[in-house]
Structure formats: C-alpha cells, structure tokens
C-alpha cells in the first residue's frame, strides 16, 4: 500500500513529558539491529528497576518513575539537539558523517548515559562505587563497550533515515560523549566528536533538561515555565563550539532557575537528606553482605543488582539468625517503614556573598566540631549530625569549562564570546549551601539552632577554612 513504508521500522512510545518518543524497531531490514533491540537488552531493561529519585520518593509519593523512563526522554531530546545542530556541524566539519549517524550517536548517548547506575543512584556512587575508584559513568562505559558494543556497531539508521554507506557508530564515541571531564578525546577520535560532548555533559543537556521536566512533573512540584524548545532552537555550532544565540538566553536562565529550585526543594529536601544520613550509616555494611563482588571485575553480578533486588534482600534481614544481618535489617525496616531516625532541628542557607559564614569551604566535620563546642556542656554528648547540601546553578568558572564550554552569540555585533556567558550568569543565584543540623528528637532544637548559627557566624574567625 502506498505510504505504508512510512511507518516501517519506526514506532511510538507514549510519554507524559514529550508526548511521543519515536524509535526504530526491527520491521524495516530483516536482521538489522535497531533501537528496540538495544532498549530490550537486559542492561537497559534493568533501569526499570532503579528509581530515578533515590530517597526523594519517600517524600514525594508519586515520584515512582525509573531511570528507564528518564533514559528514553534523554534519548529523545538528544535526537532533537542533533536535528537542530547538524547543519552548523557540517558547515564546520565537511567530513562529518551523515545527519542520521549524528542523530543516532547522540540518541544512543542519551539512552545509555545512566546504564551504569546502581541502586539509590548517585548515593550509590558516593557510598559504594567510590570505594573502588569507580563512578556510574565508568561502569556504564564498560557496559557499553563489553555488553552492548555488538548491537551498537550494527545500527544503520536513526528515526530520521539511513546512515550513509559504510558508516557505523563506534561505541567509544558514546563513551566519550556521556563521560564526565575525566573522559578525554583520543587521538583516533574524529575532531567533530568533541563538539558533541556538551549535549550530554554541559550546562544545558538532553540529560538535565529531561530530568528537570520529568522529576518536577512526577513529584507534583511547580517549577515555573521551562521553554526547552527555545533553548534548542537557538543552539548551533560555531568554530569555537556549542553556541547559544542571545535570543535563547532568557529561556536558558528560566531553565537553570527551575533546575536550581528542584535541587533546593526536591533533591535536597530536608527529609530526603535525613533519610540519606540514615542510609549512610548502614549502606557500606549492607553492600558488603548483599553484594560481595568487586564491580571492577565480572559485570554479571552487577546486572542483577537493582534497587528491587537490594530492598527485597534487606527486607528479610530483620529477623535473620545472623546478628549483623538482623541489626542491619532492623535499621532497614525503619527506613522502609518511613520511620525517620534523623529529623531536622535547624537550617541555615548560605550563599556566595556569605563566604565568612562558612560556605563550601567549611567541611562538615569542622561545622560539627564547632557546634558541639558551642553547645551547653550537658548537651555535648547529645547525638546530632550536620548536613551540607551544596548547589550551584552556574559553573565555577564559566570562562574555563574545558570540553563542556559553551559560547554566546551576539547578533548585534556578529560576535561569539564566552565572556557573554559570565555576564549572563550574573542574573542567576550564586552558590548556595543548605546547612542543616539533624537530631534524633526535637527535644533540644533551640539549643542546636543557636549553636549552629554561632558556628556559622561572622564572629567566629577561629573556624578553619580553606579560602
């Protein structure tokens, strides 16, 4: 039937954020790998069992979405970036491959950027993977190379069309694009590849644009208008790299402010951080028993490590015969039943202008020691914890971001400058630290609050800093 081939090899995924996500499926060319084949691998399907929001889902009841949903959303937005950016990429690099390959390369980087995540997301990085010198990106790069490479190398089309004859995606290209600053461009990599890295690792990315939209929607949190289509529309490449026309700068500011709001009010919510304090006390001992494997070695056990499997395991420990498991199981039972161990007594919000009050240059241990010293003598043994949640909506140095650098184009002067980026960020909040003190009861909130305020006050020059 005429026109029927329009739908061959493509399908739609309904999505509450992007409405529909287009993907390739295996009814086009027999035997040819497609996006569906990659999506249906155990490694990508595993992301269904890793929630997007670690502890925050115990605070926002509707936030039960997974890393899998986010991966599909990031894939979609990465493809949108590719479609917008390709003409300017080709103008700079005449040897750049076909638009279909660039689109598919970025879509696969979006789909797979979180494939190495473990249970409890970034908390898992900080409280397990770090002990092995790993991050979820490094684990993900290994999965891409060793487990998914064959399917990736077999891809021959994007939702928009076929690659040029002889073209294929190198899995190492995906590893570079989705890697953080420690993932360097290799000599064998094509020069145009470096221009694509900010799409997954920059200030505004297919990753953070999707999670801000998705997390706010699923949490039921109103963050204000976010016009990501405008940001994408005004993005292009110049000889310098990824560039944003001034026509898109206000939309970028809107997005960064929304992202900042999500950090301060969702990701760093007081109850979320309190649960994380409890988790931190038991997580390493839990993982030593539940996952007695070195993730630097065999990947197979990692495939079956998800939040579902971990919580099912520890949920049986509360009445175990082994005393260590039983003790850990009782702690886990408190968390699973949402019986909060640590409750916020007081909070002090510090911004960049309050350097002398102890922003990010003060270590948590230093603040805790100062608070304990300032408490009345009879309360100095009272259990409390200090939590310093840091959020910075802008880069530390917008003029020196390495391969994540973006530029701003001023049509009035027909010029491109990274200095304009620094000027733009003046309209954003500076660094913010939410310094909180938690205790096991509210019995001594007033005394703890006074001690914390004094510990962070300007009149305590004795507190050591690293400025």
Query: Which whole number is the average pLDDT over 158-185?
Result: 91
- Rounded to a whole number of angstroms, the CA Rg of the chain reads 24
Tokens of 67: 């890393």
Q: Which domains does the chain have, with CATH numbers?
A: 4-268+408-427 (1.10.3210.10), 342-393+429-467 (3.30.70)
Cα torsion angle, 360, 364, 369, 375, sign: positive
Q: Has residue 356 got a pLDDT over 50?
A: no
Q: pLDDT value at position 466?
A: 27
149 pLDDT exceeds 80? yes
pLDDT value at position 323?
A: 97
* DSSP letters spanning 402-460: GGG--EEEETTTTEEESHHHHHHGGGS---EEEEEEEESSSTTHHHHHHHHHHHTSTT-
What integer is the mean pLDDT of 48-60? 95
pLDDT of residue 6: 66
The per-residue pLDDT for 358 is 43
Say whether pTM exceeds 0.75: yes
Instruction: With CA atoms as reference, report the closest residue to 147 among 309, 37, 299, 366.
Output: 299
SS3 19: strand
Return the number of other C-beta atoms located less than 10 Å from residue 144's C-beta.
Answer: 24
Q: What local confidence, expressed as pLDDT, does residue 422 receive?
A: 79
pLDDT, tens digit, 9 for 90 and up, residues 81-134: 999 999 999 999 999 999 999 999 999 999 999 999 999 999 999 999 999 999
What residues are paired with 14 via a beta bridge?
A: 20
């Amino acid at each position: 039937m005429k026109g029927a081939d329009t739908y061959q090899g493509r399908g739609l995924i309904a999505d509450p954020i992007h409405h529909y996500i287009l993907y390739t499926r295996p009814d086009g060319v027999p035997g040819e790998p497609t996006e569906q084949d990659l999506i249906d691998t155990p490694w990508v399907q595993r992301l269904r069992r890793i929630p997007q929001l670690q502890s925050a889902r115990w605070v926002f009841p509707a936030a039960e979405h997974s890393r899998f949903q986010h991966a599909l959303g990031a894939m979609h937005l990465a493809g949108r970036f590719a479609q917008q950016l390709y003409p300017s990429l080709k103008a700079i690099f005449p040897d750049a491959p076909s638009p279909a390959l660039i689109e598919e390369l970025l879509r696969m980087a979006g789909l797979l950027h979180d494939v190495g995540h473990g249970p409890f997301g970034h908390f898992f990085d900080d409280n397990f993977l770090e002990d092995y010198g790993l991050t979820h990106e490094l684990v993900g790069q290994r999965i891409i190379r060793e487990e998914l490479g064959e399917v990736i190398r077999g891809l021959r089309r994007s939702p928009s069309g076929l690659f040029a004859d002889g073209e294929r995606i190198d899995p190492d290209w995906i590893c570079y694009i989705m890697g953080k600053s420690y993932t360097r461009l290799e000599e064998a990599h094509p020069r145009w590849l470096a221009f694509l890295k900010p799409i997954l690792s920059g200030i505004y990315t297919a990753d953070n644009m999707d999670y801000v939209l998705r997390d706010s929607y699923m949490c039921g949190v109103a963050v204000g208008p976010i016009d990501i289509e405008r940001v994408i529309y005004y993005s292009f490449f110049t000889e310098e790299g990824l560039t944003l026309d001034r026509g898109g700068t206000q939309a970028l500011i809107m997005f960064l402010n929304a992202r900042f709001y999500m950090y301060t009010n969702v990701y760093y919510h007081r109850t979320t951080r309190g649960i994380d304090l409890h988790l931190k006390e038991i997580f390493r001992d839990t993982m030593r028993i539940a996952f007695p494997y070195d993730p630097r070695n065999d990947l197979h056990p990692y495939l079956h490590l998800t939040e579902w499997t971990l919580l099912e395991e520890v949920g049986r420990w509360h009445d175990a015969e082994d005393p260590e498991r039983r003790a850990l199981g009782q702690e886990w039972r408190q968390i699973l039943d949402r019986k909060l161990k640590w409750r916020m007594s007081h909070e002090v919000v510090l911004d960049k202008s309050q350097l002398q009050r102890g922003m990010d240059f003060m270590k948590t241990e230093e603040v805790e020691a100062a608070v304990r010293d300032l408490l009345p003598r009879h309360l100095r043994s009272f259990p409390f914890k200090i939590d310093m949640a840091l959020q910075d909506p802008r880069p530390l140095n917008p003029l020196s971001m390495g391969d994540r650098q973006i530029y701003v184009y001023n049509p009035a002067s027909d010029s491109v400058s990274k200095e304009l980026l620094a000027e733009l960020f003046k309209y954003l909040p500076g660094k913010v630290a939410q310094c909180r003190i938690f205790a096991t009861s509210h019995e001594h909130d007033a005394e703890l609050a006074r001690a914390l305020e004094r510990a962070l006050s300007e009149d305590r020059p004795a507190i050591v800093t690293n400025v």
